[in-house]
Protein backbone atom coordinates (compact mmCIF):
# COMPACT_ATOMS: atom_id res chain seq x y z
CA UNK A 1 0.00 0.00 0.00
CA UNK A 2 1.30 3.46 -0.89
CA UNK A 3 -0.51 6.22 0.91
CA UNK A 4 -1.28 9.40 -1.01
CA UNK A 5 -1.68 11.22 2.31
CA UNK A 6 -0.65 10.51 5.90
CA UNK A 7 -2.16 12.49 8.79
CA UNK A 8 -1.29 12.79 12.46
CA UNK A 9 -4.18 14.21 14.50
CA UNK A 10 -3.68 15.59 18.00
CA UNK A 11 -7.06 14.34 19.29
CA UNK A 12 -9.69 11.68 18.46
CA UNK A 13 -12.65 13.83 17.47
CA UNK A 14 -10.45 16.13 15.37
CA UNK A 15 -9.16 13.00 13.65
CA UNK A 16 -12.72 11.86 12.86
CA UNK A 17 -13.59 15.28 11.53
CA UNK A 18 -10.57 15.16 9.21
CA UNK A 19 -11.21 11.55 8.16
CA UNK A 20 -14.79 12.48 7.33
CA UNK A 21 -13.66 15.55 5.34
CA UNK A 22 -11.14 13.50 3.34
CA UNK A 23 -13.74 10.82 2.59
CA UNK A 24 -16.29 13.37 1.40
CA UNK A 25 -13.61 14.84 -0.87
CA UNK A 26 -13.08 11.40 -2.45
CA UNK A 27 -10.21 9.79 -0.53
CA UNK A 28 -10.61 6.25 0.83
CA UNK A 29 -9.65 6.92 4.43
CA UNK A 30 -8.85 4.89 7.54
CA UNK A 31 -8.69 6.48 10.98
CA UNK A 32 -6.51 4.55 13.41
CA UNK A 33 -6.65 4.82 17.18
CA UNK A 34 -3.06 5.48 18.18
CA UNK A 35 -0.07 4.33 16.12
CA UNK A 36 -1.07 0.98 14.59
CA UNK A 37 0.90 -2.18 15.18
CA UNK A 38 3.00 -3.24 12.21
CA UNK A 39 0.79 -6.26 11.52
CA UNK A 40 -2.47 -4.29 11.23
CA UNK A 41 -4.05 -5.41 7.97
CA UNK A 42 -5.48 -2.36 6.23
CA UNK A 43 -7.71 -2.34 3.17
CA UNK A 44 -6.45 -0.47 0.09
CA UNK A 45 -6.83 3.21 1.05
CA UNK A 46 -5.58 6.64 -0.04
CA UNK A 47 -5.19 8.24 3.40
CA UNK A 48 -4.60 7.18 6.98
CA UNK A 49 -5.36 9.50 9.91
CA UNK A 50 -3.50 8.39 13.03
CA UNK A 51 -5.43 9.68 16.07
CA UNK A 52 -3.34 10.66 19.06
CA UNK A 53 -4.34 12.34 22.31
CA UNK A 54 -1.43 14.77 22.23
CA UNK A 55 -3.02 18.21 22.23
CA UNK A 56 -2.63 18.98 25.91
CA UNK A 57 0.05 16.58 27.12
CA UNK A 58 3.67 17.47 27.91
CA UNK A 59 5.36 18.77 24.72
CA UNK A 60 8.21 16.22 24.73
CA UNK A 61 5.71 13.36 24.87
CA UNK A 62 3.64 14.90 22.07
CA UNK A 63 6.79 15.06 19.92
CA UNK A 64 7.74 11.42 20.65
CA UNK A 65 4.25 10.14 19.83
CA UNK A 66 3.93 12.27 16.71
CA UNK A 67 7.30 11.04 15.48
CA UNK A 68 6.22 7.42 16.00
CA UNK A 69 3.11 8.12 13.92
CA UNK A 70 5.23 9.88 11.27
CA UNK A 71 7.58 6.88 11.05
CA UNK A 72 4.63 4.49 10.60
CA UNK A 73 3.06 6.67 7.89
CA UNK A 74 6.29 7.29 5.97
CA UNK A 75 6.89 3.52 6.20
CA UNK A 76 3.57 3.08 4.32
CA UNK A 77 4.80 5.35 1.55
CA UNK A 78 3.15 8.62 2.61
CA UNK A 79 4.81 11.32 0.55
CA UNK A 80 3.03 14.09 2.38
CA UNK A 81 2.12 14.28 6.05
CA UNK A 82 -0.46 16.65 7.50
CA UNK A 83 -0.10 17.36 11.21
CA UNK A 84 -3.77 17.95 12.09
CA UNK A 85 -4.41 20.52 14.79
CA UNK A 86 -7.58 22.16 16.04
CA UNK A 87 -9.18 24.80 13.81
CA UNK A 88 -8.98 27.18 16.78
CA UNK A 89 -5.23 26.56 17.09
CA UNK A 90 -5.65 25.16 20.64
CA UNK A 91 -2.19 25.34 22.22
CA UNK A 92 -0.16 27.23 24.81
CA UNK A 93 3.23 28.95 24.74
CA UNK A 94 4.68 25.59 25.81
CA UNK A 95 3.20 23.84 22.76
CA UNK A 96 2.24 21.52 21.36
CA UNK A 97 1.86 22.80 17.80
CA UNK A 98 5.30 24.46 17.60
CA UNK A 99 7.40 21.66 19.10
CA UNK A 100 5.71 18.93 17.02
CA UNK A 101 5.96 21.03 13.85
CA UNK A 102 9.67 21.71 14.51
CA UNK A 103 10.40 18.01 15.04
CA UNK A 104 8.47 16.81 11.99
CA UNK A 105 10.05 19.52 9.81
CA UNK A 106 13.52 18.55 11.02
CA UNK A 107 12.76 14.90 10.15
CA UNK A 108 11.48 15.86 6.70
CA UNK A 109 14.57 17.95 5.94
CA UNK A 110 12.41 20.67 4.35
CA UNK A 111 13.20 24.37 4.66
CA UNK A 112 9.68 25.68 5.30
CA UNK A 113 6.24 24.40 6.25
CA UNK A 114 2.80 25.87 5.45
CA UNK A 115 0.51 26.28 8.46
CA UNK A 116 -3.19 27.21 8.49
CA UNK A 117 -6.07 26.27 10.78
CA UNK A 118 -8.60 27.88 8.42
CA UNK A 119 -11.79 25.88 7.77
CA UNK A 120 -14.28 28.35 6.24
CA UNK A 121 -17.26 25.93 6.27
CA UNK A 122 -17.09 25.96 10.08
CA UNK A 123 -16.44 29.71 10.28
CA UNK A 124 -12.68 29.53 10.86
CA UNK A 125 -10.90 32.01 8.59
CA UNK A 126 -7.44 33.57 8.69
CA UNK A 127 -6.69 37.08 7.46
CA UNK A 128 -3.33 38.87 7.85
CA UNK A 129 -2.38 35.99 10.11
CA UNK A 130 -5.32 36.63 12.45
CA UNK A 131 -7.69 33.76 13.15
CA UNK A 132 -11.41 34.54 13.22
CA UNK A 133 -14.04 32.31 14.82
CA UNK A 134 -17.18 33.35 12.96
CA UNK A 135 -17.14 37.14 12.99
CA UNK A 136 -14.87 37.65 16.01
CA UNK A 137 -11.11 37.37 16.44
CA UNK A 138 -9.96 34.23 18.27
CA UNK A 139 -9.08 36.14 21.45
CA UNK A 140 -12.65 37.49 21.70
CA UNK A 141 -14.28 34.11 21.01
CA UNK A 142 -15.27 31.57 23.69
CA UNK A 143 -11.80 30.07 23.21
CA UNK A 144 -10.42 32.84 25.42
CA UNK A 145 -11.91 30.90 28.36
CA UNK A 146 -10.93 27.37 27.28
CA UNK A 147 -10.07 25.35 30.42
CA UNK A 148 -6.87 23.84 28.99
CA UNK A 149 -5.76 26.09 26.12
CA UNK A 150 -7.10 29.61 26.62
CA UNK A 151 -6.38 31.61 23.44
CA UNK A 152 -5.56 35.25 24.21
CA UNK A 153 -3.87 36.25 20.94
CA UNK A 154 -5.54 35.98 17.53
CA UNK A 155 -2.30 36.67 15.61
CA UNK A 156 -1.04 33.20 14.75
CA UNK A 157 2.36 34.40 13.56
CA UNK A 158 2.99 35.68 17.10
CA UNK A 159 1.38 32.61 18.70
CA UNK A 160 3.54 30.21 16.71
CA UNK A 161 6.74 32.19 17.23
CA UNK A 162 6.30 31.82 20.98
CA UNK A 163 6.17 28.03 20.79
CA UNK A 164 8.52 27.25 17.92
CA UNK A 165 12.27 27.41 17.48
CA UNK A 166 11.99 28.77 13.97
CA UNK A 167 11.09 32.21 12.68
CA UNK A 168 7.54 32.45 11.35
CA UNK A 169 6.32 34.39 8.29
CA UNK A 170 3.01 35.09 6.56
CA UNK A 171 1.58 34.21 3.16
CA UNK A 172 -1.15 36.81 2.95
CA UNK A 173 -4.47 36.68 1.14
CA UNK A 174 -3.30 38.98 -1.65
CA UNK A 175 -0.55 36.51 -2.51
CA UNK A 176 -2.91 33.54 -2.29
CA UNK A 177 -5.36 35.25 -4.60
CA UNK A 178 -2.63 35.46 -7.26
CA UNK A 179 -2.43 31.64 -7.29
CA UNK A 180 -0.13 28.72 -6.53
CA UNK A 181 2.97 30.09 -8.25
CA UNK A 182 2.76 33.35 -6.31
CA UNK A 183 2.55 31.32 -3.08
CA UNK A 184 5.52 29.19 -4.15
CA UNK A 185 7.56 32.33 -4.83
CA UNK A 186 6.60 33.83 -1.47
CA UNK A 187 7.56 30.62 0.37
CA UNK A 188 10.93 30.52 -1.42
CA UNK A 189 11.52 34.14 -0.41
CA UNK A 190 10.66 33.40 3.24
CA UNK A 191 12.83 30.27 3.28
CA UNK A 192 15.76 32.28 1.87
CA UNK A 193 15.39 34.55 4.88
CA UNK A 194 15.76 31.58 7.23
CA UNK A 195 12.04 31.43 8.06
CA UNK A 196 10.91 27.84 8.71
CA UNK A 197 7.13 28.21 8.96
CA UNK A 198 4.52 30.34 7.21
CA UNK A 199 1.00 31.03 8.40
CA UNK A 200 -1.23 31.07 5.32
CA UNK A 201 -4.31 33.27 5.17
CA UNK A 202 -7.47 31.55 3.88
CA UNK A 203 -11.00 32.89 3.73
CA UNK A 204 -12.64 30.72 1.05
CA UNK A 205 -12.34 27.07 0.03
CA UNK A 206 -10.53 28.17 -3.13
CA UNK A 207 -7.73 29.56 -0.90
CA UNK A 208 -7.43 26.13 0.72
CA UNK A 209 -7.21 24.55 -2.72
CA UNK A 210 -4.31 26.86 -3.61
CA UNK A 211 -2.63 26.04 -0.30
CA UNK A 212 -3.22 22.31 -0.94
CA UNK A 213 -1.54 22.53 -4.36
CA UNK A 214 1.56 24.19 -2.94
CA UNK A 215 1.67 22.08 0.22
CA UNK A 216 1.85 18.90 -1.85
CA UNK A 217 5.24 20.07 -3.23
CA UNK A 218 6.46 19.69 0.35
CA UNK A 219 6.69 16.68 2.69
CA UNK A 220 4.79 18.32 5.58
CA UNK A 221 1.97 20.73 6.33
CA UNK A 222 0.19 21.79 9.51
CA UNK A 223 -3.48 22.66 9.80
CA UNK A 224 -7.06 21.64 10.44
CA UNK A 225 -9.61 19.81 8.29
CA UNK A 226 -9.67 22.79 5.90
CA UNK A 227 -6.15 22.18 4.64
CA UNK A 228 -7.10 18.48 4.52
CA UNK A 229 -9.85 19.49 2.10
CA UNK A 230 -7.35 21.45 -0.02
CA UNK A 231 -4.91 18.53 -0.08
CA UNK A 232 -7.63 16.00 -0.91
CA UNK A 233 -9.09 18.06 -3.76
CA UNK A 234 -5.62 18.54 -5.22
CA UNK A 235 -4.89 14.80 -5.03
CA UNK A 236 -8.18 13.99 -6.78
CA UNK A 237 -7.70 16.72 -9.43
CA UNK A 238 -4.15 15.58 -10.17
CA UNK A 239 -5.27 11.99 -10.75
CA UNK A 240 -3.14 10.64 -7.89
CA UNK A 241 -6.36 9.34 -6.37
CA UNK A 242 -9.10 7.65 -8.38
CA UNK A 243 -12.16 9.92 -8.25
CA UNK A 244 -14.61 6.99 -8.11
CA UNK A 245 -12.65 4.96 -5.55
CA UNK A 246 -14.83 5.83 -2.55
CA UNK A 247 -18.09 4.78 -4.20
CA UNK A 248 -16.40 1.56 -5.34
CA UNK A 249 -15.52 0.65 -1.73
CA UNK A 250 -16.84 -2.71 -0.48
CA UNK A 251 -20.13 -2.13 1.28
CA UNK A 252 -21.02 -5.62 2.44
CA UNK A 253 -23.67 -5.85 5.14
CA UNK A 254 -22.42 -6.80 8.58
CA UNK A 255 -25.80 -7.76 10.03
CA UNK A 256 -26.20 -9.12 13.55
CA UNK A 257 -27.78 -7.45 16.57
CA UNK A 258 -27.63 -3.66 16.91
CA UNK A 259 -27.48 -1.44 19.99
CA UNK A 260 -27.17 2.23 20.91
CA UNK A 261 -25.47 3.75 23.95
CA UNK A 262 -25.98 7.34 25.09
CA UNK A 263 -23.67 8.96 27.64
CA UNK A 264 -24.07 12.48 26.35
CA UNK A 265 -26.39 14.75 28.33
CA UNK A 266 -26.58 17.40 25.59
CA UNK A 267 -29.92 18.86 24.59
CA UNK A 268 -29.71 17.25 21.16
CA UNK A 269 -29.01 13.78 22.59
CA UNK A 270 -31.84 14.06 25.13
CA UNK A 271 -34.24 14.81 22.26
CA UNK A 272 -32.83 11.97 20.18
CA UNK A 273 -33.40 9.53 23.06
CA UNK A 274 -36.99 10.74 23.38
CA UNK A 275 -37.52 10.08 19.66
CA UNK A 276 -35.92 6.64 19.89
CA UNK A 277 -38.41 5.63 22.64
CA UNK A 278 -41.07 5.48 19.91
CA UNK A 279 -39.19 2.90 17.81
CA UNK A 280 -37.04 0.75 20.11
CA UNK A 281 -36.84 -0.41 23.74
CA UNK A 282 -34.92 2.13 25.85
CA UNK A 283 -33.33 1.48 29.24
CA UNK A 284 -32.57 4.52 31.39
CA UNK A 285 -29.70 3.71 33.73
CA UNK A 286 -29.82 5.07 37.26
CA UNK A 287 -26.66 7.23 37.46
CA UNK A 288 -26.50 7.04 41.27
CA UNK A 289 -26.37 3.23 41.06
CA UNK A 290 -23.63 3.38 38.42
CA UNK A 291 -21.41 5.38 40.75
CA UNK A 292 -22.21 2.88 43.54
CA UNK A 293 -20.86 -0.20 41.73
CA UNK A 294 -20.89 -2.62 38.80
CA UNK A 295 -24.42 -4.04 39.29
CA UNK A 296 -26.14 -1.36 37.23
CA UNK A 297 -24.10 -2.27 34.14
CA UNK A 298 -24.87 -5.95 34.71
CA UNK A 299 -28.58 -5.16 35.02
CA UNK A 300 -28.38 -3.29 31.71
CA UNK A 301 -26.71 -6.22 30.00
CA UNK A 302 -29.27 -8.71 31.26
CA UNK A 303 -32.01 -6.38 29.98
CA UNK A 304 -30.28 -6.04 26.60
CA UNK A 305 -29.86 -9.79 26.17
CA UNK A 306 -33.63 -10.21 26.61
CA UNK A 307 -34.44 -7.67 23.89
CA UNK A 308 -31.62 -7.92 21.32
CA UNK A 309 -33.25 -10.77 19.41
CA UNK A 310 -36.20 -8.53 18.54
CA UNK A 311 -34.31 -5.53 17.14
CA UNK A 312 -32.10 -2.64 18.23
CA UNK A 313 -32.05 -1.37 21.83
CA UNK A 314 -30.88 1.88 23.44
CA UNK A 315 -29.22 2.17 26.85
CA UNK A 316 -28.81 5.71 28.21
CA UNK A 317 -27.22 7.28 31.26
CA UNK A 318 -28.19 10.73 30.02
CA UNK A 319 -30.14 13.00 32.35
CA UNK A 320 -31.32 16.60 32.57
CA UNK A 321 -28.85 19.37 33.49
CA UNK A 322 -30.39 19.57 37.01
CA UNK A 323 -29.91 15.84 37.64
CA UNK A 324 -26.37 15.95 36.25
CA UNK A 325 -25.53 18.89 38.54
CA UNK A 326 -27.02 17.06 41.55
CA UNK A 327 -24.99 13.89 40.87
CA UNK A 328 -21.83 15.94 40.35
CA UNK A 329 -22.33 17.83 43.60
CA UNK A 330 -22.67 14.54 45.49
CA UNK A 331 -19.65 12.78 43.93
CA UNK A 332 -17.54 15.40 42.12
CA UNK A 333 -17.66 15.95 38.36
CA UNK A 334 -14.68 13.77 37.44
CA UNK A 335 -15.64 10.83 39.64
CA UNK A 336 -19.21 10.78 38.34
CA UNK A 337 -18.15 11.23 34.69
CA UNK A 338 -15.42 8.60 34.87
CA UNK A 339 -17.66 6.03 36.61
CA UNK A 340 -20.36 6.46 33.97
CA UNK A 341 -17.87 6.31 31.07
CA UNK A 342 -16.42 3.07 32.45
CA UNK A 343 -19.91 1.62 32.96
CA UNK A 344 -20.70 2.43 29.32
CA UNK A 345 -17.46 0.73 28.29
CA UNK A 346 -18.42 -2.33 30.42
CA UNK A 347 -21.82 -2.42 28.74
CA UNK A 348 -20.32 -2.05 25.26
CA UNK A 349 -17.91 -4.91 25.95
CA UNK A 350 -20.79 -7.07 27.23
CA UNK A 351 -22.96 -6.21 24.22
CA UNK A 352 -20.22 -7.22 21.78
CA UNK A 353 -19.81 -10.42 23.82
CA UNK A 354 -23.55 -10.98 23.34
CA UNK A 355 -23.15 -10.71 19.56
CA UNK A 356 -23.74 -7.01 18.86
CA UNK A 357 -21.95 -6.02 15.64
CA UNK A 358 -23.56 -2.63 15.02
CA UNK A 359 -23.09 -0.07 17.75
CA UNK A 360 -24.09 3.59 17.93
CA UNK A 361 -22.54 5.71 20.71
CA UNK A 362 -23.59 9.25 21.65
CA UNK A 363 -21.04 11.40 23.49
CA UNK A 364 -17.42 12.29 22.72
CA UNK A 365 -15.83 11.08 25.97
CA UNK A 366 -18.24 8.15 26.07
CA UNK A 367 -17.17 7.13 22.55
CA UNK A 368 -13.48 7.37 23.51
CA UNK A 369 -14.03 5.08 26.52
CA UNK A 370 -15.97 2.56 24.40
CA UNK A 371 -13.46 2.49 21.53
CA UNK A 372 -10.52 2.10 23.93
CA UNK A 373 -12.26 -0.73 25.78
CA UNK A 374 -13.21 -2.60 22.61
CA UNK A 375 -9.56 -2.24 21.51
CA UNK A 376 -10.55 -1.16 18.03
CA UNK A 377 -7.33 -0.38 16.14
CA UNK A 378 -8.99 1.68 13.43
CA UNK A 379 -11.96 2.53 11.24
CA UNK A 380 -12.67 2.79 7.58
CA UNK A 381 -14.79 5.89 7.12
CA UNK A 382 -18.02 5.31 5.21
CA UNK A 383 -21.35 7.04 4.48
CA UNK A 384 -22.24 10.19 6.42
CA UNK A 385 -25.26 9.83 8.76
CA UNK A 386 -25.39 13.48 9.80
CA UNK A 387 -22.96 16.37 9.31
CA UNK A 388 -19.65 15.23 10.80
CA UNK A 389 -20.87 11.75 11.81
CA UNK A 390 -19.92 8.96 9.40
CA UNK A 391 -20.58 5.23 9.59
CA UNK A 392 -17.33 3.58 10.68
CA UNK A 393 -16.31 0.07 9.67
CA UNK A 394 -13.88 -1.28 12.25
CA UNK A 395 -10.63 -2.69 10.88
CA UNK A 396 -8.40 -5.21 12.62
CA UNK A 397 -10.94 -6.20 15.30
CA UNK A 398 -10.40 -9.70 16.64
CA UNK A 399 -14.13 -10.38 17.08
CA UNK A 400 -14.81 -9.86 13.35
CA UNK A 401 -16.61 -7.26 11.26
CA UNK A 402 -18.27 -4.41 13.10
CA UNK A 403 -19.96 -1.09 12.26
CA UNK A 404 -19.95 1.88 14.62
CA UNK A 405 -21.26 5.42 14.71
CA UNK A 406 -19.62 7.75 17.22
CA UNK A 407 -21.47 10.99 17.75
CA UNK A 408 -20.35 14.08 19.57
CA UNK A 409 -23.22 15.13 21.88
CA UNK A 410 -24.70 18.02 19.92
CA UNK A 411 -24.56 16.40 16.49
CA UNK A 412 -27.36 14.87 14.48
CA UNK A 413 -31.08 15.39 13.90
CA UNK A 414 -33.91 14.23 16.19
CA UNK A 415 -34.13 10.80 14.55
CA UNK A 416 -30.36 10.28 14.77
CA UNK A 417 -30.45 6.77 16.26
CA UNK A 418 -32.81 5.40 13.58
CA UNK A 419 -31.00 7.39 10.87
CA UNK A 420 -27.74 5.74 11.92
CA UNK A 421 -29.15 2.23 12.06
CA UNK A 422 -30.72 2.61 8.60
CA UNK A 423 -27.23 3.14 7.13
CA UNK A 424 -25.55 0.49 9.31
CA UNK A 425 -26.74 -2.71 7.71
P1 LIG B 1 -20.76 15.19 24.90
O2 LIG B 1 -20.25 14.79 23.53
O3 LIG B 1 -22.21 15.59 24.89
O4 LIG B 1 -19.86 16.19 25.58
P5 LIG B 1 -19.47 13.20 26.48
O6 LIG B 1 -19.64 11.72 26.45
O7 LIG B 1 -18.20 13.76 25.90
O8 LIG B 1 -20.74 13.84 25.79
O9 LIG B 1 -19.55 13.75 27.95
C10 LIG B 1 -20.62 13.45 28.81
C11 LIG B 1 -20.04 13.22 30.20
O12 LIG B 1 -21.12 13.18 31.12
C13 LIG B 1 -19.31 11.89 30.31
O14 LIG B 1 -18.20 12.02 31.16
C15 LIG B 1 -20.37 10.98 30.94
O16 LIG B 1 -19.82 9.90 31.64
C17 LIG B 1 -21.06 11.97 31.87
N18 LIG B 1 -22.43 11.59 32.19
C19 LIG B 1 -23.26 10.80 31.47
N20 LIG B 1 -24.45 10.69 32.08
C21 LIG B 1 -24.39 11.42 33.20
C22 LIG B 1 -25.30 11.71 34.27
N23 LIG B 1 -26.55 11.20 34.26
N24 LIG B 1 -24.89 12.49 35.27
C25 LIG B 1 -23.64 13.02 35.26
N26 LIG B 1 -22.72 12.80 34.30
C27 LIG B 1 -23.10 12.01 33.28
Check whether 359 has a pLDDT greater than 80: yes
Sequence-distant (≥ 6) Cβ neighbours of residue 106 within 8 angstroms: none
* Contact call for residues 47 and 29 (beta carbons, < 8 A): yes
Q: Is residue 251 part of a domain?
A: no
pLDDT given for residue 345 in this prediction: 98
Q: Which of 166, 214, 162 is nearest to 187 (CA)?
A: 214
pLDDT given for residue 1 in this prediction: 67
Q: Which of 305, 298, 265 is nearest to 281 (CA)?
A: 305
Q: Is residue 230 part of a domain?
A: yes
pLDDT given for residue 242 in this prediction: 82
Q: Are residues 170 and 281 in the same domain?
A: no
User: For the chain, what is the radius of gyration of the CA atoms?
Assistant: 22
Check whether 303 has a pLDDT greater than 70: yes
Q: Are residues 212 and 328 in the same domain?
A: no
Backbone angles phi, psi at 396, to 5 degrees: 75, 20
CA 219 vs CA 3, 26, 47, 114, 256: distances in Å: 13, 21, 15, 10, 43
Q: Are residues 199 and 78 in the same domain?
A: yes
Give residue 316 CA to ligand 1 midpoint distance, Å. 10
Give residue 353 CA to ligand 1 midpoint distance, Å. 24
pLDDT given for residue 252 in this prediction: 81
Q: Are residues 328 and 386 in the same domain?
A: yes
Q: Is residue 114 part of a domain?
A: yes
Task: Assign 311 to helix, strand or coil.
Answer: coil
Give residue 351 CA to ligand 1 midpoint distance, Å. 20
Q: Are residues 94 and 49 in the same domain?
A: yes
Weakest-pLDDT range from 17-31, 230-244, 252-266, 387-401 = 387-401
CA 82 vs CA 22, 117, 223, 229, 420: distances in Å: 12, 12, 7, 11, 30
Q: Is residue 224 part of a domain?
A: yes
* Atom 15 of ligand 1, nearest CA residue: 337
Q: Are residues 220 and 131 in the same domain?
A: yes
Pocket test for ligand 1, best of 366, 388, 407, 408 (most atoms within 8 A of CB): 366
Backbone angles phi, psi at 287, to 5 degrees: -55, -40
Q: Are residues 90 and 117 in the same domain?
A: yes
Give residue 273 CA to ligand 1 midpoint distance, Å. 14
Give residue 7 CA to ligand 1 midpoint distance, Å. 29
Q: Are residues 223 and 114 in the same domain?
A: yes
Using omega within 30 degrees of 0 as the cis cutoff, is the peptide bond preceding 147 cis?
A: no
Give the tens place of pLDDT for each residue, 94-117.
999 999 999 999 999 999 999 999
Q: Are residues 311 and 412 in the same domain?
A: yes
Count: domains in the chain: 2
Q: How confident is the model at residue 12 (pLDDT cuts 50, 70, 90)?
A: confident
Q: Is residue 119 part of a domain?
A: yes
Give the tens place of pLDDT for each residue, 309-350.
999 999 999 999 999 999 999 999 889 999 999 999 999 999
pLDDT given for residue 249 in this prediction: 65
Give the tens place of pLDDT for each residue, 235-283.
999 998 887 777 666 678 899 999 999 999 989 999 999 999 999 999 9
Q: Are residues 210 and 346 in the same domain?
A: no
* Atom 25 of ligand 1, nearest CA residue: 324
Q: What is the average per-residue pLDDT within 24-40?
A: 92
Last residue of a domain, one of 212, 245, 278: 245
* Atom 5 of ligand 1, nearest CA residue: 363
Give the tens place of pLDDT for each residue, 34-74.
999 988 888 889 999 999 989 889 999 999 999 999 999 99
- What residue numbers bound the domain in which 371 lies? 258-423
Backbone angles phi, psi at 153, to 5 degrees: -140, 125
| Beta-strand runs (E) in 150-304 | 167-171, 195-200, 220-223, 258-262, 282-284
Q: Please report the atom of ligand 1 found closest to the CA of residue 287.
A: 23
Task: Assign 422 to helix, strand or coil.
Answer: helix
Q: Is 133 left (phi over 0), alpha (psi -120 to 50) or beta?
A: beta
Give the tens place of pLDDT for each residue, 176-197.
999 999 999 999 999 999 999 9
Q: Are residues 269 and 236 in the same domain?
A: no
CATH number at residue 300: 3.40.980.20
Q: Is residue 202 part of a domain?
A: yes
Q: Is residue 252 part of a domain?
A: no
Give residue 365 CA to ligand 1 midpoint distance, Å. 7
Q: Please report the atom of ligand 1 found closest to the CA of residue 318.
A: 20
Give residue 364 CA to ligand 1 midpoint distance, Å. 8
Q: Are residues 167 and 292 in the same domain?
A: no
Q: Is residue 250 part of a domain?
A: no
Pocket residues: Cβ below 6 A from ligand 1: 263-266, 287, 317-319, 324, 327-328, 336-337, 340-341, 363-366, 408-409
pLDDT given for residue 250 in this prediction: 66
pTM: 0.88
pLDDT given for residue 334 in this prediction: 87
> Average pLDDT, whole number, for the chain?
94
pLDDT given for residue 38 in this prediction: 86
Weakest-pLDDT range from 40-49, 126-135, 141-150, 163-172 = 141-150
Q: Please report the atom of ligand 1 found closest to the CA of residue 407.
A: 2
CATH number at residue 224: 3.40.50.10840
pLDDT given for residue 308 in this prediction: 97
Amino acid sequence: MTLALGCIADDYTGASDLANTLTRAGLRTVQTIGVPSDDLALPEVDAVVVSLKSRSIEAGLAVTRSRAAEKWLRGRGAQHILFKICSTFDSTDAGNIGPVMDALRADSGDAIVLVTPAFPETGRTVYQGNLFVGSVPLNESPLKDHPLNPMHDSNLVRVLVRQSETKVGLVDLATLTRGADAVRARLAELAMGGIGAAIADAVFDRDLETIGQVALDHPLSVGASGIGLGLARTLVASGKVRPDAVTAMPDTAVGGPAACLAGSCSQATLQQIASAERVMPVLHLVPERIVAGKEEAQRALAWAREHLGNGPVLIASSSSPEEVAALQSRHGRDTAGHAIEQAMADIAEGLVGAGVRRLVVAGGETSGAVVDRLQIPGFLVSAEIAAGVPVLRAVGVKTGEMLLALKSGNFGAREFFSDALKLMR
